[in-house]
Amino acid sequence: MTPLRSIFGCTRIFLFVIRKQICLPVILLVKLAFTQVANGQVQRLPEFHFLRLSDGKPFTQRDLQPPKKTLFVFFDTECPHCMQAVSTWNDNHSAMDGLHTVLLTMDPPEAAIPFLRRFADKIISKKQVVTARDPERQFISRFLPKKYPSMFLFSEKGILLRYTDDEKDIPSLIRLIPKK
């Protein structure tokens, strides 16, 4: 082998290694992005940091223990469809016994607490129900809801089972919840 050929051989190997070191992380990031979001909808439970309405303490995905199916109901206190959705969940409160439930709003506590007392009086006292607010406004960018009310049901492993923003779809969500 000539010295010139040896140099070109090393150059090819060097370029191959560089491409692998650059391309592989890019490919992994793209793959991760597509597994997290498909069809404009989040597919896995994203990391989040909300504040509990009851005491202002942080509430994150690590607080969802033990692993169970998890329902997020994202509402606005002035939205008539949200009022109907939360009222429907309240009427079906026994269906929520087998899962974690997060009732979430971006509204201040002064608006959210009276709303929940009026429309969710049976569910807000349940042990596995958390009422929270999103003052940092991260829910929209991480969960990608389309409109109010947005309801996400995730599996025990954090995989999206169903998303809906129509309160008429609540019976189909209830069918996905394990019976206690």
- Indicate if 72 and 19 belong to the same structural domain: no
Please state, in angstroms and as integers, the Cα–Cα distance from residue 146 to each residue in 60, 140, 142, 163, following that order: 22, 9, 12, 10
With tokens 């979001």, the residue in question is: 37
pLDDT at 7: 52
164 lies in some domain: yes
31 lies in some domain: yes
CATH number, position 53:
3.40.30.10
- Indicate if 111 and 48 belong to the same structural domain: yes
148 lies in some domain: yes
- Indicate if 30 and 116 belong to the same structural domain: no
138 lies in some domain: yes
Listing DSSP states for 75-122 in one string gives E-TT-HHHHHHHHHHHHTGGGGGGSEEEEEESS-HHHHHHHHHHH-TT
Nearest to 176 by CA among 146, 149, 155, 157: 155
- Indicate if 47 and 100 belong to the same structural domain: yes
pLDDT at 143: 97
Listing DSSP states for 120-180 in one string gives -TTTTTSTTEEEEE-TT--HHHHH---SSSEEEEE-TTSBEEEEE--GGGHHHHHHTSPP-
- Indicate if 48 and 34 belong to the same structural domain: no
Rounded to whole angstroms, the Cα distance separating 61 from 49 reads 8
In contact, 84 and 76? CB cutoff 8 Å: no
Number of domains in the chain: 2
Beta-sheet pairing, 150-154 with 160-164: antiparallel
pLDDT, one tens digit per residue, over 113-157 is 999 999 999 999 999 999 999 999 999 999 999 999 999 999 999
Nearest to 69 by CA among 180, 148, 143, 177: 177
- Indicate if 148 and 170 belong to the same structural domain: yes
- Indicate if 29 and 51 belong to the same structural domain: no
Return the SS3 of 50: strand
- Indicate if 25 and 76 belong to the same structural domain: no
- Residue 44 DSSP symbol: B
28 lies in some domain: yes
Is residue 26's pLDDT more than 80?
A: no
Rounded to whole angstroms, the Cα distance separating 143 from 152 reads 9
- Indicate if 155 and 74 belong to the same structural domain: yes
Higher model confidence: residue 29 or residue 96?
96
- Expressed as residue numbers, the domain containing 89 is 41-175
In contact, 100 and 85? CB cutoff 8 Å: no
- Indicate if 62 and 103 belong to the same structural domain: yes
pLDDT, one tens digit per residue, over 32-84 is 444 355 567 899 999 999 999 999 999 999 999 899 999 999 999 999 999 99
- Indicate if 90 and 123 belong to the same structural domain: yes
Is residue 30's pLDDT more than 50?
A: no
180 lies in some domain: no
Rounded to whole angstroms, the Cα distance separating 58 from 51 reads 5
- Indicate if 25 and 90 belong to the same structural domain: no
Is residue 103's pLDDT more than 70?
A: yes
144 lies in some domain: yes
Q: Count the Cβ atoms, other than its own, within 10 Å of residue 26.
A: 9
116 lies in some domain: yes
Higher model confidence: residue 42 or residue 21?
42
